[in-house]
Every structure is written in structure tokens, then in C-alpha cells.
């Protein structure tokens, strides 16, 4: 069980650490909404990782085949959603006025909304469940059993959540440093641009 737990933590970190549009959203949410809201979004992403790890443990290759059959449409949906969010971030920074609520969108206004929004964006990425299914099929659980499977999923949740909270903290620190309106405006513009570029990479890679 300990080996499966450690394997899950490593797998959770491996799927969460690579730079992506969701990570950019969490950082920018931290910069403009604070750590609590960004942490809510990060935990939404970590929850999806844990759920997909559960599906991989339960379904294995059958889940991989099912998800693979709809992978391309899901990638297009994910890319378009992220492109829209990135454009909203870019616009909010570009048209900043004194009474505007700067940030990704109202979807990220509270920790609960951020959780639901990032959960939804992360859930439409089919690569995650395929990744976990491949690990399970490759023997990452050592000896397949209910206990090892549960330990692996718990490890994925811990690893992914830990990294997402680091991103939230980094964004919050960035926001604290950018006390001026100009700094916050340009972080929104840069963050929106980066999110749109990462979304375009998803679409072009479909």
C-alpha cells in the first residue's frame, strides 16, 4: 500500500507539474483573486485527477479505449473553452477601468466558483485518464488489489493538490507584489495571452 501511495503521489505530480493552460489560470486567479480562490480552483483540478485515476484503476484498458474514441472532440472543446477564457482575461486587462473587477471572469469570483470552473475545464482533457490507465496497466500498483488501488488514487490526489496549491500560492505572491493598477493590468494581459497560446497548442495538436 505504501508503494502504491508513493507511486500515486509521483503520478499526481507528473500530470500536474507540466505547464498548461489550467496552471496558468490558477496562477492568474491567485494574482487577482487571492490564494483562497485560486486554491479552490487548484483543488478542482486535483479532484479531476483523482477521479480519472479511479476510473483507470477500475476500468483499465476499457476506459482508455472508450475515452480514446472521443478524444479529438474533447480536445477541441477543451481548446475552445480555454481560448475563450484566455480572451476574457486579455480583454479584462486591456480595457481595465476603475470600476472593473479584474480577473479571468466571474466564474473565478469565489473559491466555490473557481473549484467548479477549473473542475469542468480539467475534466474535458482526455489525456489525463489515458495517462493513468497506462500507468495502471504498466504495473504501477505493484500487486493489483482494492487497497493498492485506493492508495494509488489517494496518492494522486495528494500529489496533484500539493502542486496546484503551490501554483495558487505563487499567484497570490505575485498579486501581493503587484500593488499598482498597471502591474495587475499587464499580468492579466500576459496571463490571457499565455492561456490563449496554450489553448491554440491544444487545438493545433488535435
User: Is residue 85 predicted with pLDDT exceeding 80?
Assistant: no
User: Is residue 34 predicted with pLDDT exceeding 60?
Assistant: yes
pLDDT digit string (tens) for 88-105? 767 766 665 434 444 455
User: Is residue 116 predicted with pLDDT exceeding 80?
Assistant: yes
- Report phi then psi at 36, rounded to 5: -60, -45
Average pLDDT over residues 129-139: 67
DSSP 99: T
Average pLDDT over residues 122-146: 68
Mean pLDDT of the chain: 76
Cα separation, 106 vs 100, in Å, equals 11
CB atoms closer than 10 angstroms to residue 93: 23
User: Is residue 40 predicted with pLDDT exceeding 70?
Assistant: yes
Residue whose C-alpha cell is 476510473: 55
Lowest mean per-residue pLDDT among 2-11, 40-49, 100-109: 100-109
Domain ranges of the chain: 20-204
Cα separation, 16 vs 29, in Å, equals 17
Confidence bin at 87 (pLDDT 50/70/90): confident
The pLDDT, as a whole number, for residue 123 is 84
Helices 127-137 and 35-59, axial angle in degrees (round to 10) = 50
The pLDDT, as a whole number, for residue 169 is 94
What does the CA dihedral 20, 23, 28, 33 come to, rounded to 10 degrees?
150
Average pLDDT over residues 184-205: 71
Higher pLDDT, 201 or 57: 57
In the three-class reduction of DSSP (H, G, I as helix; E, B as strand; rest coil), residue 111 is classed as helix
Higher pLDDT, 54 or 180: 54
The pLDDT, as a whole number, for residue 88 is 72
User: Is residue 173 predicted with pLDDT exceeding 80?
Assistant: yes
The pLDDT, as a whole number, for residue 168 is 93
User: Is residue 159 predicted with pLDDT exceeding 80?
Assistant: yes
Amino acid at each position: 500500500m505504501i508503494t502504491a501511495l508513493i507511486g500515486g503521489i509521483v503520478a499526481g505530480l507528473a500530470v500536474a507539474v507540466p505547464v498548461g493552460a489550467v496552471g496558468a489560470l490558477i496562477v492568474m486567479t491567485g494574482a487577482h483573486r487571492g490564494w483562497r480562490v485560486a486554491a479552490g480552483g487548484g483543488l478542482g483540478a486535483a479532484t479531476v485527477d483523482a477521479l480519472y485515476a479511479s476510473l483507470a484503476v477500475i476500468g483499465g484498458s476499457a476506459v482508455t479505449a472508450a475515452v480514446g474514441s472521443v478524444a479529438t472532440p474533447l480536445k477541441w472543446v477543451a481548446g475552445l473553452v480555454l481560448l475563450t477564457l484566455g480572451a476574457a482575461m486579455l480583454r479584462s486587462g486591456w480595457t481595465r477601468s476603475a470600476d472593473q473587477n479584474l480577473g479571468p471572469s466571474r466564474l473565478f469570483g469565489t473559491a466555490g466558483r473557481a473549484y467548479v470552473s477549473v473542475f469542468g475545464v480539467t475534466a474535458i482533457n482526455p489525456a489525463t485518464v489515458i495517462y493513468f490507465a497506462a500507468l495502471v496497466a504498466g504495473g504501477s500498483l505493484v500487486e493489483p488489489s482494492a487497497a493498492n488501488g485506493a492508495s494509488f488514487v489517494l496518492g494522486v490526489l495528494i500529489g496533484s493538490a500539493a502542486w496546484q496549491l503551490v501554483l495558487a500560492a505563487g499567484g497570490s505572491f505575485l498579486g501581493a507584489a503587484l500593488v499598482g493598477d498597471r502591474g495587475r493590468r499587464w499580468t492579466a494581459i500576459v496571463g490571457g495571452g499565455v492561456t490563449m497560446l496554450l489553448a491554440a497548442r491544444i487545438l493545433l495538436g488535435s
